[in-house]
Structure 1
């Protein structure tokens, strides 16, 4: 009886305008969310006229900010309100690309008031599977997966699908996930065009062999960059024969690529050789192998990702690295957060979101990355240690 009386007294002395105003303030699901008037009405059940009048009052007292026509953002942090959580399992802390994605995502999540669970896949399919299970246990609202093993992708995706957790896949597609990453075919084509044009300038187009340093474990999408490479090269050197392409699996690692190119050069003297690499680690491994064999001036190399080690190599005098396709992972965070929030809100999201890319060369590297001189010196030797 006493409890009923207390509840009755609360109802008797409550001010409906205050209750409704707080309902509007609580309608946002994360810090900084911008909502339209009709969204606020839908979430609170308030009539449009009532909500509009309350919002005008809340704006006057500084509790709400109008950010556009018919759009509002709450400026009040309410106690006890749960925050959305995003889980990110990165490729490896040893990967500069993965670290850049993680740092960008951390900043973007903090700016939107989102909690972030960060895990390291350590370049291992087994670790990636364990991390997927952990993110499911953590009950994150959205999972972001960055791992390079195609054979593990379906199993990882299935874990999130069974738990009802939306999934975003970075760089390597996963079944049912939204893909965010480069257009591999076009990036490879850009590498082929760039090397072909450089070969015409340096050697008048007289190329004896082309090495394609691939990463078989990544599956068909990364491989499409090698298909694009061949197309781009043939646009510049249309008479180049198919049998002069040599495919090697460098596994996307400096040490492995260094070893396979070393062994190839011991068996063959390819003459003037172009090297298209799946990433910068493989590209730098090839550069090192040719230089060790005394054949540095007989190779021209292109990589992908424009990682710090590659940018340092581009600044080295007489380098044989012609360029590297930059995907700018340091900019991924805001886009990943935008996609995550759209998935949470069940808004329409395209199946693939391609990031912009550009060829980074010795001529433009300082324009794209003027602050590199502030970083600790980086060199291919760093990649040797990471590959051991």
Structure 2
């Protein structure tokens, strides 16, 4: 039988013919990308919301302008000329840990961009490192009747209370950084990340110091319990695996009041006034505390006496590692700039009742002065201010 031959199907087995015209479907997708007649979108946002290639989206946008379904708004914007009847948009509540941490700020920025691209309403609150405010924010999201909550708060003492509030309201939620009962967890494998840093500290000490370190300083967040401080447990184990006598190092553990720079700086300054080491390893719960410890050692004239490992791979840490002979010898990168799109997609999968894993672990990679430019080659370009808007 040639490709032109055909067989008439038997009655009952006749396939339903499709009369769908894909170009019309795509044009309607573009019209649906506009939430109101006052919203102005550029090509990038339209392509992101519809999933169309930019070239295809551009041709359809121009066609819809010619047919007066859309109108131009400025040089690069488009505005809908018609009000499209649509189902209700998803509304997602997001409570950040604090506005003070660069890591959290990066996550928040990514969520805003991803929510806009996905045509999702994002309600933003700030937990301000406060369990009381975190509980209040949970109540506000429930009162707003959001469809889902993304909660980033580190106080384990109120985790069960927050979880119970959302459970009673039948609101699914995603817990960032610290697991909460009944939530889908999104964040780091804290022990694994800490162990990576600890092993690198041990290798660095073996290469650069003739004698063993005299002490180990651990900078943690005790309010988060064992979950976030699992990074410190991993650091201790990583050092112990590779450094002879590493498991017996005199260890000093400090609570940094939520991982904040100023609190850590004060703690390490006081420590160095009491104990001036010649060789100290420092394991920090995040880059803010790592950089604060480094500043305290510098102020005391003891920078050469330390080797510090951070966590997060923040821009400030990357800049520090590019300095010649910096004693911030590594940081474990979590790539928070990628969180937004991942979290919004996870939220949409939950809301659309798709199967999701109970825990989603982010990518980890060890940053060092030797590889930071390879992993983050565009930092210098991102820092340059544009000549014009």
Note the residue ranges of structure 2 that are not aligned, 5 or more in a row: 1-12, 33-83, 385-389
**CA distance in 1: counterparts of 2:26 and 2:211, whole angstroms:** 64
**CA distance in 1: counterparts of 2:377 and 2:120, whole angstroms:** 30
Q: Which residue of 1 aligns with 2:338?
A: 331
**CA distance in 2: counterparts of 1:127 and 1:268, whole angstroms:** 38
Deviation at 1:376, TM superposition (A): 5.5
2:142 is paired with a residue of what secondary structure? helix
Equivalent of 1:286 in 286, 293, 316: 293
Q: Which residue of 2 aligns with 1:7?
A: none
Equivalent of 1:170 in 176, 181, 189: 176
**CA distance in 2: counterparts of 1:207 and 1:141, whole angstroms:** 52
What are the residue-to-residue correspondences of 1:204-353 with 2, within 5 Å?
A: 204=210, 206-242=212-248, 244-251=250-257, 252-353=259-360
**CA distance in 1: counterparts of 2:267 and 2:169, whole angstroms:** 42
Q: Which residue of 1 aligns with 2:109?
A: 103
Q: Which residue of 1 aligns with 2:81?
A: none
**CA distance in 2: counterparts of 1:372 and 1:335, whole angstroms:** 22
Q: Deviations over 1:108-131 (max 9, x none)?
A: 222222221122222222222221
Q: Deviations over 1:234-277 (max 9, x none)?
A: 12114224351221222311111111111112112332110000
Moved more, 88-97 or 321-330: 88-97
Q: Which has the higher helix share?
A: 1
**Cα distance, 1:113–1:300 mapped onto 2, change above 3 Å:** same
What are the residue-to-residue correspondences of 1:1-388 with 2, within 5 Å?
A: 53=17, 56-60=18-22, 62-63=24-25, 77=32, 78-204=84-210, 206-242=212-248, 244-251=250-257, 252-374=259-381
CA contact (8 A) 1:58 1:64 kept: no
**Cα distance, 1:290–1:62 mapped onto 2, change above 3 Å:** same
Moved more, 263-272 or 219-228: 263-272
**CA distance in 2: counterparts of 1:49 and 1:223, whole angstroms:** 63
Note the residue ranges of structure 1 that are not aligned, 5 or more in a row: 1-47, 66-72, 378-388
Q: Which runs of 4+ in 1 moved over 6 A?
A: none
**CA distance in 2: counterparts of 1:289 and 1:60, whole angstroms:** 63
The count of corresponding residues between Structure 1 and Structure 2 is 320
CA contact (8 A) 2:96 2:104 kept: yes
Q: Deviations over 1:121-153 (max 9, x none)?
A: 222222222211111111111100011222222
**CA distance in 2: counterparts of 1:295 and 1:126, whole angstroms:** 40
Moved more, 368-377 or 205-214: 368-377
Q: Deviations over 1:334-360 (max 9, x none)?
A: 221222122112222221110011111
**CA distance in 2: counterparts of 1:132 and 1:150, whole angstroms:** 15
Deviation at 1:366, TM superposition (A): 2.2
**CA distance in 2: counterparts of 1:104 and 1:370, whole angstroms:** 20
**CA distance in 1: counterparts of 2:355 and 2:234, whole angstroms:** 30
CA contact (8 A) 1:63 1:76 kept: no
